[in-house]
């Protein structure tokens, strides 16, 4: 199973929804050789700068490392629905002592 293509599809799905606030651009950043995939918001809300990662996922071998999940529904659920086994997901944003070691 090609996890990178699943991760790209999920991130593109999130990227298709523009934030309902401010003048914010939605950017996908894909580093295929390095296995890094990210969804970034950049722009302005009134006088406040908006910039940051909404989703950051790394594919390392047969594991999908969720580095950051700023979604309301949980990107892990979307990855599982698309066929990535739950045991292949690493919730990297949790302290190592809290992670399942599947």
Token pair listed for 71? 């979604």
Q: How confident is the model at residue 100 (pLDDT cuts 50, 70, 90)?
A: low
Domain limits of the chain? 3-98
Fold of 3-98: TATA-Binding Protein (3.30.310)
Q: What is the mean pLDDT of the chain?
A: 93
Whether the predicted pLDDT of 101 surpasses 60: no
Whether the predicted pLDDT of 12 surpasses 90: yes
Token pair listed for 63? 């594991």
Q: CA-CA distance, 32 to 49, in Å (whole number)?
A: 29
Q: CA-CA distance, 42 to 68, in Å (whole number)?
A: 16
pLDDT in tens, 26-69: 999 999 999 999 999 999 999 999 999 999 999 999 999 999 99
């Amino acid at each position: 199973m090609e996890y990178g293509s699943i991760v790209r599809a999920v991130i593109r799905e999130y990227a298709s929804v523009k934030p309902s606030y401010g003048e914010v651009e939605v950017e996908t950043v894909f580093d295929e050789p390095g296995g890094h995939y990210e969804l970034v918001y950049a722009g302005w809300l009134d006088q406040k700068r908006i910039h940051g990662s909404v989703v950051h996922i790394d594919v390392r071998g047969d594991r999908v490392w969720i580095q950051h999940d700023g979604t309301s529904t949980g990107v892990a659920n979307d990855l599982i629905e698309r066929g990535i086994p739950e045991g292949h997901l690493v919730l990297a944003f949790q302290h190592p002592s809290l992670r399942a070691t599947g």
